[in-house]
Structure 1
């Protein structure tokens, strides 16, 4: 009897590093204390966001139940720390889901069902992306999941009505692959550089283009943050915008976009990068959007830093090449990431238009950070989201952001 695809490609393996231990030498001591919602999970469960990507919430809850009910040994008391690539392990469960969608996608493609193939390949890519979450360098299972996420994403783009080009940006003797999404190739397009948070990679940024930018006739160029995805060779440090500056340098060589009509949108930590670019690259950008950007308090208030969920501390440690086992040491290592400490915010304003999105009672981007960003530009708009995360929030804010970008570009 032939083994199915999951059995051939993804057989259980026990001797692999468990994700929570990759950048934290004290991972075994992790408890539910300090975790949101009083839950016993290491990872932040981004239910609404994953549903917004298009992943079925009911399937997701079933998957969470499989992990929670598993009785295999765990690294700590947290539910998603089962070691080894086996049932109950976070990566394993999500990869099985990804492979299931990949099988359906290939079957649809063979039957000439282009739209279904496109949808299933995207589902496979997003599922594999979540399997790798939070995308730690040094996590072998994440590396395998990234390969599946990217291959399925490329397959999805082959069935899409839109164009996707892989742009290899040269920086320090290396090539950084970035996805360039185009509504069409009939004319040169304005372009928005888009990056996500410390726990995000390029493959999950596509919905913003598909649902908002493409209908508006705007191209999107995705860029990974230092220490993550295709940019894992670089460490996250004070010069956090180095890779984005290299992209701006390379844009005149890209024939499909107008390098004189460029904006930057940064979600979460990428908002820190975007705000930095608003000052040091103001002549090369038309506008900047930040969404929930940590620009100061998180990196200068040690109590706020220590209260961060362990996964987020580990993300900062992993991206900067350090260990989260000593929170105080990690705090001082991250201190230079404050744009106020760098002297960028809190001084003279930039003339570049900025659109700042915040949320009340946000531990990562508090009101003081929103105020700093508001004062950073002489042409700034601020939009505050509802506290509760929801699909409505995502759609409303991206609709407003897109309309604003259209005016600037």
Structure 2
């Protein structure tokens, strides 16, 4: 498959910024085609920069550039080679930092993850992290060092069909989270699990939480809920790269996914806290979807940025908001929460002054009496349900 280069470049911006790829503009300027591994092609130019960084022993940066080379998904030998280089290079970076491979069998297939902080002797509560339909586990793996510093065990997985995950992406893909918990039950406190699931994995996380009582909270950003799957008019306006990726992963036309939609009854039955960061100008997820979360999830916190999908202008505050939200759900130590809240205020101020954009808050989308936070750095603390054992998390 050959992708439209202009669209590839457009959607690469968010992922390049999220991985702090300062050389991305220069690489993008050299790209003229998506023709395999030829000079000037998408894969060749990203890989060439990655090769240089790897020779300089800048392994994490090299892995990130290989990741961009295989973006948005593996569709041939060139991108398959880039993915292999990405995984191998990340593994070299990860090993001395205590990040190890975790493998489990799901539906008869072997699924590979990255993990840190698992221990049969000191079983910590666990945070399972997952990206969306175009981001692989190596993109999120570096977060494992921060997760364990907060007293949690961490596992990073991929949606089925993404990266090294060989499964087919379908409506039941949320079962992957339960399979991870089953696998690590002897090395983590899986009765206290939190899911940090971005984009399409947020939908899978919500569906999994309906059935798996071990999940105590879900934090997501830009997740489809119901309207994305049902609204054919909206689907007709989706970016080609999104449609191609979804159809590649699911083996189903986008307009055939209506049965994936979560119902209002299902959302209302969730008795765990849910945090959702949305983008006011999202070209992929309709505004009605975060509105459903606000209107029907009992304990919902919704924050909306004035930005496009993924809120590239608000990456730092969104990350910190996600961590702060997890800590509040968890009942993390006050010192940890205060430190993250302080950093969040700074990041929010920097995003506001740097972009001159105003954050749009979701209170007007759904007048349901649900809780919303107007500022990411607010000192107010939402009351969360207390769970046994949540008051004293382990600290590494």
Distance 1:246 1:48 in 2: 30
Task: Tell whether the 8 Å contact from 1:227 to 1:235 is kept in structure 2 after alignment.
Answer: yes
Task: Tell whether the 8 Å contact from 1:194 to 1:264 is kept in structure 2 after alignment.
Answer: yes
TM-score (norm 1): 0.74
Matching of residue 258 in structure 1 with residue 189 in structure 2: yes
Does the residue aligned with 2:89 lie in a helix, a strand or coil?
A: helix
Matching of residue 274 in structure 1 with residue 240 in structure 2: no
Out of 46, 54, 57, which is 1:102 matched to? 54
The 1:88/1:403 distance shift into structure 2, 3 A limit, reads same
Shift of 1:130: 0.7
Aligned to 1:385: 305
The 1:385/1:406 distance shift into structure 2, 3 A limit, reads same
User: C-alpha offsets along residues 60-100 of structure 1, whole Å, 9 cap, x if unaligned?
Assistant: 111111114xxxxxxxxxxx43x231111101111111111
Aligned to 1:332: 255
Does the residue aligned with 1:235 lie in a helix, a strand or coil?
A: coil
Shift of 1:214: 4.0
Distance 2:24 2:127 in 1: 31
Number of residue pairs the alignment of both structures matches:
329
Shift of 1:42: 4.0
Aligned to 1:85: 37
Out of 266, 282, 295, which is 1:344 matched to? 266
Shift of 1:207: 4.1
Matching of residue 197 in structure 1 with residue 132 in structure 2: yes
User: C-alpha offsets along residues 312-345 of structure 1, whole Å, 9 cap, x if unaligned?
Assistant: 00001100124xxxxxxx133222222239x634
Distance 2:17 2:9 in 1: 16
Distance 1:19 1:227 in 2: 19
The 1:144/1:360 distance shift into structure 2, 3 A limit, reads same
Matching of residue 372 in structure 1 with residue 292 in structure 2: yes
Out of 360, 381, 391, which is 2:280 matched to? 360
RMSD value over aligned CA atoms?
2.4
User: C-alpha offsets along residues 82-125 of structure 1, whole Å, 9 cap, x if unaligned?
Assistant: x23111110111111111111111xxxxxxxxxxxxxx110111
Task: Tell whether the 8 Å contact from 2:130 to 2:137 is kept in structure 1 after alignment.
Answer: yes
Distance 1:393 1:263 in 2: 23
Aligned to 1:294: 224
Out of 63, 86, 96, which is 1:149 matched to? 86
Spell out the pairing of 1:24-43 with structure 2 (5 A cutoff): 40-42=6-8
Distance 2:64 2:120 in 1: 26
The runs of 5 or more residues in structure 2 that have no matched partner are 331-396
Shift of 1:386: 3.0
The runs of 5 or more residues in structure 1 that have no matched partner are 1-17, 21-29, 31-38, 69-79, 106-119, 323-329
Distance 1:240 1:43 in 2: 29
Shift of 1:204: 0.2
Task: Tell whether the 8 Å contact from 1:44 to 1:311 is kept in structure 2 after alignment.
Answer: no
Out of 316, 320, 323, which is 2:250 matched to? 320
Aligned to 1:133: 71
Out of 188, 207, 215, which is 1:285 matched to? 215
The 1:213/1:395 distance shift into structure 2, 3 A limit, reads farther
The 1:390/1:310 distance shift into structure 2, 3 A limit, reads closer
Shift of 1:149: 0.5
The 1:390/1:247 distance shift into structure 2, 3 A limit, reads closer
Spell out the pairing of 1:138-287 with structure 2 (5 A cutoff): 138-160=75-97, 163-182=98-117, 187-210=122-145, 212-232=146-166, 234-253=167-186, 255=187, 257-281=188-212, 283-287=213-217
The 1:251/1:377 distance shift into structure 2, 3 A limit, reads farther
Out of 25, 28, 32, which is 1:64 matched to? 28
Greater relative contact order (CA < 8 Å, ≥ 6 in sequence): 1
